[in-house]
Amino acid sequence: MINIAILGFGNIGSGVAEVIEKNQAEIKNVLGDNLHVKYILDIRDIPGVVNDINIIVNDPDVKVICETMGGKEPAYTYTHLALEHGISVCSSNKELVDAYGVELSAIAREHNCSYLFEASVGGGIPVLRTIREAFGHEKVSRIAGILNGTCNYILTNMKAGKDFADALKEAQEKGFAERNPAADVEGHDTARKIAILASLVSGKKFSYEQVSCEGITNVTQQDIKDAEAQGMSIKLLGVYEAETQSVNVAPYLVPASSPLYGVNDVFNGIMVTGNMVDNVMFYGRGAGKLPTASAVVSDVIECAKTLGRNVKDGLEDLEPVASVNAPAKPDGQKFRVL
């Protein structure tokens, strides 16, 4: 039996426990052993939940920790401490990966454990592991992705006739958008995710602060109609271009010929272009309790299979990129064209 702990018992953390409980037979089939949630840590006072990280890291039975807290603190402090104790950490925390991923990766390697973060980008879509393992020999020239389900849901509903305010309100009522939706609709969530993707394929560390970022708050119903008249759809994309070393987030006009055109509602789509494989499309639920938790558990299984060893995560020894460009818009045009 492999004992694990979950840090943060909100939506994703509780989902991790549910995935392990419901899919224990499948997990044992691939791992050769059972997973057992020995500890749950949360800052709230919940029966059966611990509040002291030291209880977890000082228990030699705990082999893997799932960090599903979100934000930088106390997630950074707890992750740092766990890795120093030789306990592998699997994270869904894109903010932490963007800000401290390279540092945490180095600590994991030093202490013969792993820091994995599949769930930080694309929810349940297995894009990071695929890039890490199946694209290592490729020269990736571009990544273009719909990386935020909230924005995609809003834009899909605007295409159906709603204005931005009504589409946002509906997204909030259905739980797809936070009460304060700024991180989503202003593009910051997408910026963190495309920075992580760009770092993995470029061999250089791109950070969220370097990404030119424009959200969807200025997209109007008329813009949607104009795009449709041209046979296009407006999508919020995170785009990395290797040749120009540009990374940006902005609403793009996506032609009907693109696989990203038909990605609607809360779904994500990520198109990776390699010099040999050409275009590869990843599609699925980019957020949500169980899809994201499933990605966390996939990392837990990989860590459990490699106890006492370090799994390369793609952030090893990356030097910060000196400067990042943003592609220019066509003269007189409001949107870039994919």
Active-site positions read 193
Give the CA distances from residue 334 to residues 215, 263, 272, in Å, rounded to whole numbers and listed in that order. 13, 22, 25
Q: How far apart are the first and last CA of the chain?
A: 49
| Nearest alpha-carbon partner for 218 in 248, 250, 189, 194 | 250
| Nearest alpha-carbon partner for 240 in 324, 150, 174 | 324
For 258, the token pair is 């693109």
User: 226 near 251, Cβ under 8 Å?
Assistant: no
Residue type, 288: G
| Nearest alpha-carbon partner for 102 in 89, 115, 112 | 115
For 192, the token pair is 């963190």
Give the CA distances from residue 75 to residues 65, 97, 278, in Å, rounded to whole numbers and listed in that order. 11, 10, 38
For tokens 């820091």, name the residue.
115
DSSP 325: B
| Nearest alpha-carbon partner for 62 in 136, 2, 125 | 2
